[in-house]
Amino acid sequence: MCYNITEYREFQCAHITAFRQQLVDCNFRECRFSGMHEAQPHNCPSTCKQVMLPDQSIITNAHGLQCPLCTCRIDGSWASSMNGH
């Protein structure tokens, strides 16, 4: 069955952010989410898989930098922007 995979970016501060999600196609004709799903009229609810596998996640990028939120906290720009300056 098909599933979604989410790619994450990990920062030096240990925060992670999702930056891409894509469908992993199982290529089964009996899976309604697949690009190979039966195109001809058929009783899909009774013959085809109607649920995807659980989402998977993977960290594919590791940065030696702080995340944007932590960077703002460190350099003070968060405080400046909160005061409208």
Q: Give pLDDT tens digits along the chain (85 positions).
A: 999 999 999 998 889 989 899 999 999 999 999 999 999 999 999 999 999 999 999 988 887 888 888 887 665 554 444 444 4
Residue-level pLDDT at 66: 86
Bridge-based pairing state of the strands 3-10 and 16-24: antiparallel
Q: How do the domains of the chain map onto residue ranges?
A: 3-82
Residue-level pLDDT at 76: 58
Residue-level pLDDT at 42: 95
Instruction: Report DSSP letters for 42-60, one per residue.
Output: --HHHHSB-SPPPPEEEEE
Task: Spell out the long-range contacts of 46-50 with Cβ–Cβ below 8 A and sequence spacing 24 or more.
Answer: 49/1
